[in-house]
Each structure stands twice: as structure tokens, then as C-alpha cells.
Amino acid sequence: MVKENLEQVRENIKKACEKVGRDVSEITLISVSKTKPVPMLQEAYDAGSRDFGENKVQEIMDKYPVLPQDIRWHMIGHLQRNKVKYIVNKVFLIHSVDSLRLAEEISSQAEKKQVEVDVLVEVNIAQEESKFGTSREEAISLVEEIAKLPHVHVKGLMTIAPFVENPEDNRKYFRQIKELSVDIMKKNIDNVSMGVLSMGMTGDYMVAVEEGATMVRVGTGIFGERNYNI
């Protein structure tokens, strides 16, 4: 099932690319495997997936040692500063940096482990109370501050759009974050690139691709519904 789902999602991404004249190689599909058991991740791996997204430090620590080492782990959930040390040398990209204090902790733990860590700044583009992320207004100054840290490198922006029935309702937010990333790019800040735009989930990834996403994070569409009660 996972294999068929993956193929379907890839096909949809291809269609969205064709619609707006983008090359499908510009988009990385992240298989969001939170709450899912290792055999399901292995299935996705066998079907060609190398990028996996998790939102809990513990789950990354459990899955990391038992799955192939060429997997790129993406930390996409809220990250507590006291847990940074456990994953700083295991993850390919941290999508959820929303404060200078968190970025400082990542830099200091990275120094201890002698690694360099790539991060995205999470922006709460729809200004939802329930969501983490910096505001659009604060994003630029936050990026400028993080840029000064030695072992952290800002590679772009991430956003979690509102949960909507109709994905078209999120198009405006995807556009806004794309504009924000272009604004930041134009500032030519040292140690900052804006090549990555992580946006779009199962309900709206095609619209996100049309609006410039370079990473889409798809969970349910690949692994099925999640059961949080087990």
C-alpha cells in the first residue's frame, strides 16, 4: 500500500510541476512517518524514499539506528532546547527553528559534536494561535540573528498552513511565504540561503508545489491515517 501511495503522490507532484512549468527534480518529497512503525518506513525506503520527517526527538532516536544509514532525517516538529543534543548529529535538516534561543542551543551542541547544522526558520504565516513559528514581521530579524551563529546555517523557510477542506484556501499563504523568502534572499545576508521552501502536506501539497515549494511533507497520503491512541 505504501508503495502505491508513494507512486500516486509522486505522480501528483509531477502533474503540479507540469501545470506551472517546474522541473520535478526541484521538489523533495518528505515521507512523514511519525507514529508509524519501522516496517512501514522500510517499505517506503524500498520504494525509493530517502527523506523521512518526524516530529518527536524520541522517535528519531528509536528509528535512526534500525533503518538504513543513507536516510535523511528531517525534524519537522516543535523542538525543545533540552532535547537538541540528542539529534543534532542525526538530522539532515531541522525545519522548526522559531527562536534565537533554540538556534543558539543548536549551534552550541553542533560545536560540541563537531557538526554543522542546516535549519529552516518556521513562520506562522496565517498567525494561528495554536501554531509555533515566528511572525512574518519578525522573520527577517530572526534570520539575521541566526546568521551570526557559527554552526547553524539557514537554508530557507518552513510553514504549516491552516487545516482547510479546500486546498485553494491556502494558496494565498503559500504565496506570502514565497514572497517573504524572496525578500530575505534579496538582502544577501551572509551565511543565509533561501533555496528551501518547506510547505504543503497531504491536503494541499499540489497547491504548494504550484506556488514554489521545494520540500513537501506528506504523511497521511503515504502511510494512511495516524492513530495516536496506541
Ligand X SMILES: *Cc1c(COP(=O)(O)O)cnc(C)c1O
The site for ligand X (CB under 6 A) is made up of 32, 34, 55, 76-77, 160, 201-203, 217-221
Residue number, 55 or 109, with CB nearest to ligand X: 55
Residue with the closest Cβ to ligand X?
219
Q: Please state the closest distance from residue 76 (CB atom) to ligand X, in A.
A: 4
Cβ closer to ligand X: 22 or 34? 34
**Residue corresponding to grid cell 514572497:** 179
Q: State the burial class of residue 96 (Cβ atoms within 10 Å of its Cβ: 0-12, 13-18, 19+).
A: buried
* For ligand X, the closer CB: 76 or 117: 76
Closer to ligand X by CB, 32 or 149: give it: 32
**Buried/exposed code over 201-224 (b: 16+ C-beta within 10 A; e: otherwise):** bbbbbbbbbbbbbbbbbbbebbbe
The H-or-E segment that residue 30 falls in is strand 28-32
Q: Which is nearer to ligand X, 167 or 221 (CB)?
A: 221
**Helix 136-146 and helix 171-186, axial crossing angle in degrees, nearest 10:** 40
Q: State the nearest-atom distance from the C-beta of 190 to ligand X, in Å.
A: 28
As a three-state string, the secondary structure of 141-198 is HHHHHHCCCCCEEEEEEECCCCCCCCHHHHHHHHHHHHHHHHHHHHCCCCCEEEEEEE
Residue with cell 530557507: 156
- Write down the least CB distance from residue 32 to ligand X, Å: 4
When the beta carbons of 154 and 201 are compared against ligand X, the nearer one is 201
Least Cβ distance, residue 154 to ligand X (angstroms): 18
Closest separation between CB of residue 149 and ligand X, Å? 23
Residue 189 Cβ, how far from ligand X at the closest point, in Å?
Answer: 25
